[in-house]
Amino acid sequence: MKPYRVLLYYFYTPLENPEQFRDEHHLLCLQLNLLGRIIVAPEGLNGTVSGLAADCEAYMRIVASDPRFAGIDFKVEEHDTHAFQKLHVRLKEEIVNSDLPVDPRRETGKHLEPAEFRQMLDDEDVVLVDMRSNYEHAVGRFKGAVTFDMENLRELPEHIHEIEHLKNKKVITYCTGGIKCEKASAYLLQQGFKDVYQLHGGIIKYGQEEGGQDFEGKCYVFDNRIAVDVNKVNPKVISTCFRCGTETARMINCASPSCNNHVAMCEECGWEHQGTCADACKADPHLRAYDGTGYYSKKTEGYTPLQGYISRKSLALK
């Protein structure tokens, strides 16, 4: 068993004083030596964190014991080390950027547990719709799923016309951990889709509980792993190297910080081209040193996990 855990979670619940909660939650993560990205908003909590197994167990126990988060679902994966270099607990207007005029606490698609989802895959009347960004589904997606060429969920209204003809089908939305589908499925219902479902817990939970059958490629994740294996039943590589076109499941961020393009790239091209997606990117004066992973953490001089909390409190007192 590996010593570290990576937790992926979200929960929609009203927070009356999100700024106070953000500060308290940041301190909790510091006490438990957790690193990662957490978003706090008036509508709830969304995060991905990593830490030692015991610290993650304590975190899950504390969060779940708060009546506001009763029923929260943690997706837990084992890892050799921390999956993040820093800790950020940010206050935003939404826990997932969407600008969609919906409230998933009032209306959303029917939740399908992974086993129910797998059983529905053979239904000819079912259509899978991927609610993730283009670079995410480029490296992995469910077989036969509808995908959109969108950068983020805010663009979903611009693509609804592409699936208008499916309004009378059983539409199942899916994403990495389930959070985008809460709002996306609600929006589809608003737009007149009759029978809308969502994969509860997303791709990650489906892989853990049902072996990831029919998910082709890898699942893009927002930590230093970049992409992870999901399918243990009938895996297949669907992505090709952005540079040479050979089949590869490796995903990198371009080493040029002004580009930071998310692309598939084979190991040979990664080293040959210094982790860049185009020759022009090599000329970037701020080119980051490629270490074979293609993951780059933002540099902050003298950073410590406590620094973000102290800096924010200092600014608030000015």
CA–CA distance, 41 with 91 (Å, rounded to integer): 6
CA–CA distance, 202 with 205 (Å, rounded to integer): 6
Looking at residue 280, what DSSP letter applies? G
CA–CA distance, 188 with 196 (Å, rounded to integer): 7
CA–CA distance, 147 with 50 (Å, rounded to integer): 30
Q: Checking DSSP bridges between strand 227-228 and strand 219-220, what pairing results, if any?
A: antiparallel
Dihedral sign (CA 231, 235, 236, 240) = positive
- Residue 37 has phi, psi (to 5 degrees) of -125, 125
In DSSP notation, 175-186 reads: -SSSHHHHHHHH
- Under DSSP, is residue 48 helix (H, G, I), strand (E, B) or coil? strand
Catalytic one of 29, 56, 175, 219 = 175
- Look up 181 and say whether it is catalytic: no
Q: Which token pair is 149?
A: 């060429």
Query: What does the angle CA 232 – CA 262 – CA 206 come to, to the nearest 5 degrees?
Result: 25
Q: Which token pair is 205?
A: 């939970």
| Residue 151: count of CB within 10 angstroms of its CB | 10
Query: What does the angle CA 93 – CA 44 – CA 73 come to, to the nearest 5 degrees?
Result: 140
- Under DSSP, is residue 42 helix (H, G, I), strand (E, B) or coil? coil
Q: How many CA atoms lie within 13 A of 278 on its CB side?
A: 9
Q: Which token pair is 272?
A: 């040959």
SS3 of the chain: helix, strand, coil, percent, to 5: 30, 25, 45
Instruction: Give catalytic residues, as residue numbers.
Output: 175
